[in-house]
Amino acid sequence: MTLLRGGRIIDPSQGLDAVGDLLIENGKVAALGPSLTTNAETVIEVQGLTVAPGFVDLHTHLRDPGFEYKEDLYTGTRAAVAGGFTTVCCMPNTRPVIDTAERVADLLQRRRESALCRVLPLGAVSRGHHNNLLTDFAALRQAGCVAVTDDAFPVQTHALSTAIQARARRVGLPFVAHCELVEFAGQGVMNEGELADELGLPGHAAQGELAGVRLHWLAWLQDQARDFHLHVAHLSAEATADFIRQLKKSKMRVTAEVCPHHLALTEEAVREHGANAKVNPPLRQEEDRRALVAALRDGTIDIIATDHAPHAEWEKDQGMLLAPFGVIALETALPASLTALLDPGEMSLPEIIAKLTIAPAQVFGLDGGTLKVGAQANVAVFDPDQRHVVDTKDLYSKSKNSPFIGRELRGRVILTIVEGNVVFREGAVLISRDGAKSP
Ligand code: DOR
């Protein structure tokens, strides 16, 4: 038995925000209350800290198999628990691509040996990400996939969207769409506009994102299926947020996510961080950033997701034109979100925690994101007020491609518990690679 004593327990799944104790027994939440009397053998004092459900990320690139030089199941989940995440849903753009039941089974088997938290796979919508040969969604689901996606290989045609929608609704899986028409994005490496011109870099127009969402909407209009669920990945632009606000008034089931970097940064980060701020979709302008914050607050955007996308230093050192897109984000997700949302008073702490816990769990229909009695004891304990400067030496990800390096952020994860076990405490991941055994 473990008792977390005297924290501010915030669990939006049960409308809870109160100082009290949390008792964990046999890997589950056993009790919550103002002053629990127990004979727990381990008592952890958490006065002054916030106790929340472990965070749930619907968009993580773990790079395993095939790109283990960037990240692997152990280092990726090590970064996850250091960031307060206890569930991560991993993207299929690995090598080989996660596009068959066998590959899902292999990933899940290795997950049991290497991961520090719960890892749930997404399956690719097409074989090898070659867009025209669709995967067997039913088999992927049966093997354990929680959604299907075209992430990093955006669908370009109505015909393909229609085919994906028909399959996804038949098997009841959400389709996580990377919405981008490449005719707008072209060879762009950063947001299109004055700054790109000034830096002499090809631009990636925001209209491409809107056109991508419209493509899926137009395909949906053909039969207006109520049981199809479109989840729009990594929203970056004001016009797209406005369009999704309208779509939510229609009968289409659409949910959307935003990444901490799009909430906290603008294209200006490219000046300072170069390729470490190169991400797809790109960081955009202040109006876009503000519109994303407003859309998250009013529910147009349902959740915060990291799009943790590790790349090696030598890859990012190739410069803006050649470096791959992507930034690491698991360890800075909470601090970047608190800095962008809590500091300026845009959202309250319980509202922000909801976007990292129960809301993502609901989008994919997962258990988790809650501290209800009887739930798995997945817990994040953090100090929402502690400010710190992000430093590569403190990061647990194998890659260090973060646009927040050197920046002061607010909020620090102190303790992460996965199924009742303390896996991260006071800056240290407590389980070595050999000792990793995931739920
Ligand atoms: O920046 C990105 N990186 N966007 C994507 O869509 C893919 C991701 C990656 O896999 O590196």
**Alpha-helical segments (H) within 267-410:** 269-273, 286-297, 313-316, 333-337, 349-356, 358-364
Helix, strand, or coil here: 150?
A: coil
Atom of ligand 1 nearest to the CA of 151: 6
Q: Is the same domain home to 353 and 408? A: no
Residue 96 beta carbon below 6 angstroms from any ligand 1 atom: no
**Ligand 1 atom closest to 233 (CA):** 6
Cβ(151) to ligand 1 under 6 A? yes
Question: 293 in a domain, yes or no?
Answer: yes
Q: CA–CA separation, 202 vs 408, rounded Å? A: 30
Gap between the Cα atoms of 171 and 109, Å rounded: 23
The closest-lying atom of ligand 1 relative to the alpha carbon of residue 324 is 11
pLDDT of residue 132: 83
Catalytic annotation present for 288:
no
For residue 130, what pLDDT is reported? 85
Q: Are residues 20 and 106 in the same domain?
A: no
Whose alpha carbon is nearest atom 4 of ligand 1? 280
- Say whether both 101 and 180 belong to one domain: yes
- Is position 15 within any domain? yes
Residue 435: the pLDDT is 81
Closest residue to atom 10 of ligand 1, CA basis: 309
Query: Considering the domain boundaries, does residue 438 fall inside one?
Result: no
Q: Is the CB of 232 under 6 A from ligand 1?
A: no
Catalytic residue among 64, 72, 302, 307: 307
Q: Taking the mean position of all CA atoms in its chain, how far away is CA 116?
A: 17
Mean confidence (pLDDT) of the chain: 97
Taking CA atoms only, the protein residue closest to ligand 1 atom 6 is 152
Enclosing domain of residue 424: 2-50+377-429
Please check whether residues 415 and 307 belong to one and the same domain: no
**Residues of the chain scoring pLDDT < 70:** 437-439
Say yes or no: CB of residue 178 within 6 Å of ligand 1.
yes
pLDDT tens readout for residues 154-184: 999 999 999 999 999 999 999 999 999 999 9
The pLDDT, as a whole number, for residue 205 is: 96
Residues 220 and 282 reside in one and the same domain: yes
In a domain, 295, yes or no: yes
Check whether residue 350 and residue 410 sit in a common domain: no
Both tokens assigned to 183:
């005719």
Ligand 1, atom 3, lies closest to the CA of 326
| Inside any domain, residue 393 | yes
CATH number of the domain enclosing 387:
2.30.40.10
Is 439 a member of any domain? no
* Domain total in the chain: 2
- Whether residue 156 sits in one domain with residue 79: yes
* Residue 324: inside a domain: yes
CATH code, domain with 304:
3.20.20.140
Nearest CA to ligand 1 atom 5: 152
Would you state the pLDDT for residue 437? 65
Say if 435 falls within a structural domain.
Answer: no
Share of the chain above pLDDT 70, in %: 99
Co-location of 89 and 140 in the same domain: yes
In a mutational test of the pocket of ligand 1, which residue from 93, 98, 189, 258 has the highest number of ligand atoms less than 8 Å from its CB? 93
Residues 146 and 92 in one domain: yes
> In angstroms, how far is the first alpha carbon of the chain from the final one?
18
Same domain for 263 and 354, yes or no, is: yes
